Amino acid sequence: MAETKATIYTVARAVGVSAQTVSRVLNGTGQVSEKTRAAVLAAIEAQGYRPNAVGRSLRASRTPMVGVLVADIGNPFYARLHRAIERRLSGSGYSLMLMNCDDDARIERRQLELLRSYRPTGLVIVPSVGSSLSAADLPAFGHVVSVSRVLEGLPVPAVVTDERESVGAAAKELISYGHTEIALIAGPQKASTTRAREEGFRAALARHTGLRGIVRHTDGTRAGAEAAAAELLSTRPGPTATGPSATSPSATSPAATGHTTTGPTAMIGFNALVTEGIVSAIMAAGLRCPEDVSVIGFTDAGWMTLHRPPISVIDQPVEEMGALAGRLLLDLAAGESVAPGPRVVPSTLVRRGSVASPAAHGVTPSAQVAAPAAKEEGS
Amino acid sequence: MAETKATIYTVARAVGVSAQTVSRVLNGTGQVSEKTRAAVLAAIEAQGYRPNAVGRSLRASRTPMVGVLVADIGNPFYARLHRAIERRLSGSGYSLMLMNCDDDARIERRQLELLRSYRPTGLVIVPSVGSSLSAADLPAFGHVVSVSRVLEGLPVPAVVTDERESVGAAAKELISYGHTEIALIAGPQKASTTRAREEGFRAALARHTGLRGIVRHTDGTRAGAEAAAAELLSTRPGPTATGPSATSPSATSPAATGHTTTGPTAMIGFNALVTEGIVSAIMAAGLRCPEDVSVIGFTDAGWMTLHRPPISVIDQPVEEMGALAGRLLLDLAAGESVAPGPRVVPSTLVRRGSVASPAAHGVTPSAQVAAPAAKEEGS
DNA sequence: CTGAAAGCGCTTACAG
DNA sequence: CTGAAAGCGCTTACAG
């Protein structure tokens, strides 16, 4: 009951043993007679003693804590990632310290310094663009694993998805529907994910002639994506006759850039927030999806099956990625050797209803456009 | 450069001063001559010395760490809340330890014990249903502030929104449109938020006669809400004639419960996930919103303005709530006296397009139903 | 303006 | 099976 300040010593004194014996009972190390053990347990209970992790960490020169640093916890992708890592690490005795950096290398640095001061066991990081993490830094964070993005040039295990292939598959899908002008609304130019997805996108388009690929870099937010998409759509003919506040569909506006183009008829969204921005921009322009503009998102979100049409996406295996990152960290902490470099967890193209042939423009009246049934999802 | 193991002593030795002098330079406490100061700084730089937070915390018997314990970080509401708290606390030197408890009191207890072992400065908690937190526990967590939900009977400051009033306003809105059978798809029965919202709901209905209020408790997830909503809608007449796979609209199915009812014509969703579930159930039943079922959500989400119709919501001021909770904690940590009890941050009813008169059933052909313009939002 | 000593709570060798 | 001693890295009084 003496809540005054129970320590390993107060417990030891009460039982008439040494502090090390209490420590042994606490940690299950060494040999302790059953009788002593029971007495110690009773005293712990009586005093309401709780071990102090700080004393323990100081002695061990290591804190059983793993930092999780992401670009934006407001993005559901990162929230799910955190949850998956937490789930994998729960029960292992590690505390998770979640940190946000707004994709800003300076904030990332500040957060890393804070983490480092605890002498953590490990760090799972989605490096910010232009990440400040250097090879010299690495030991300070114990074991380091990167997720989603890679740390170019650093000897760190990484968990990623097949960016090139899956964005390539999305582009291929759109091409197969007859789209000739396709836009990728991408993330920050310097992010490894952006570069990889852009490569996959361009490679897929390069397999054919007469195609035009447009890439717009954004900050990855809904607002940023909406602005980029709106600008691209401004070269499109006005709203279709059936839309609200319709303008003459025959009056093709001249391309702002001087290209002989009527603007993209299909868009790929970099993440769920960007996809929101694209859908919003399409609506704001008075255009319809998929009749006027086809959309494929990257990373699934709950609203996408609710939307009409349901949004087709490249479903990124967030949970698996987080779980694998957690496991790699656990392996490293257990002293196992883990080779640096990327582990690829494949994404899946989920066809729903947001892709149609551009020829369907003004043809399909209102309801669902049939998609080649391959993986139908949701209700 | 000697990355071997820089401590306050190695720095002191290099400069030829005592450890305390280094400590003084580090903390800006006491008086240090400019010359000594510069020399210490130079040695710190040269050795790549970083203070060890563990040693500091052990001496201070307090760790500059604030725990943030929420029910489910996968729910965007909590992710936003965490972000708001983090933003408010950033720059204060406190680390945030985010913890999840899946709304399970046992997991909550385990997480709390882990946090407690660090001797944290504070805790911002969304108590789980049946929270294990007791008055005797409180001191172990330093300063405690609850958010969203309250800790009944504990002397803790809380930040909440005006549950009763805002749900009451939503119910009133639906009543004014002529709905006589309204359902509240609520959260866990024992959560303080559920109880308060339920009270507000029932009070609003009690002001009139001939109304029927239905409350369904769920686990607050999309799946749970969808099941509850689907069950309620199963007593509704089948899909309208214009819907897909239509059944005869005149064939009213008998009420499963024996009530002479055709099921609710309006639903209020407990949180954004529940609202997703409701919308999904309406679609799955082949019904339309708002023609067949009106919907008002609680807590805004990005997809709601994108949806057709855009979903009307009680917009909960998440950012303000998180910021206020953060501020209260900072005040407490600064030694200011903060009275226990709730602080109420009001929510706002945002009218979009998911509410219509039940009389509109089968009348309004397809497009938007005009809502009384009061607060139009989004694009 | 600066330093010698003690101690925060624990665990790690080292002895018995 | 158990204990005395030392030390993890830092800061707090207390002296000068």
Domains of chain A, each with CATH number or no CATH: 8-51 (1.10.260.40), 60-161+319-346 (3.40.50.2300), 163-315+349-360 (3.40.50.2300)
Predicted local distance difference test score (pLDDT) of residue B360: 52
CB contact under 8 A, B53 and A279: no
Write a three-state SS string for chain A: CCCCCCCHHHHHHHHCCCHHHHHHHHHCCCCCCHHHHHHHHHHHHHHCCCCCHHHHHHHHCCEEEEEEEECCCCCHHHHHHHHHHHHHHCCCCCEEEEEECCCCHHHHHHHHHHHHCCCEEEEEECCCCCCCCCCCCHHHHCEEEEECCCCCCCCCEEEEECHHHHHHHHHHHHHHCCCCEEEEEECCCCCHHHHHHHHHHHHHHHCCCCCEEEEEECCCCHHHHHHHHHHHHCCCCCCCCCCCCCCCCCCCCCCCCCCCCCCCCEEEECCHHHHHHHHHHHHHCCCCCCCCCEEEEECCCCHHHHCCCCCEEEECCHHHHHHHHHHHHHHHHCCCCCCCEEEEECCEEECCCCCCCHHHCCCCCCCCCCCCCCCCCCC
B348 inside 8 A of chain A by CB? no
Predicted local distance difference test score (pLDDT) of residue B276: 97
Cα of B160 to nearest chain A Cα, Å: 21
CB-proximal positions of chain C, under 7 Å: 1-13
Predicted local distance difference test score (pLDDT) of residue B73: 86
**Distance (Å, whole) CA A142 – CA A121:** 5
Mean pLDDT of chain B: 87
Is A92's CB less than 7 Å from nucleic acid strand C? Answer: no
Predicted local distance difference test score (pLDDT) of residue A354: 97
B3 inside 8 A of chain A by CB? yes
Q: Which of B63, B99, B279 sits opposite A306 (nearest CB)?
A: B279
**Distance (Å, whole) CA B245 – CA A356:** 23
Is B90's CB less than 7 Å from nucleic acid strand C? Answer: no
Residues of chain B falling short of pLDDT 50 = 1-2, 240-260, 361-379
Write out pLDDT tens, residues B296-353: 999 999 999 999 999 999 999 999 999 999 999 999 999 899 999 999 999 999 999 9
A262 inside 8 A of chain B by CB? no
Is A62's CB less than 7 Å from nucleic acid strand C? Answer: no
Residues of chain A falling short of pLDDT 70 = 1-4, 237-261, 359-379
Of the candidates A58, A53, A52, A14, the one whose C-alpha atom is nearest the C-alpha of residue A36 is A14
B222 inside 8 A of chain A by CB? yes
Amino acid found at A365: P
Å between CA of B194 and C1' of D11? 48
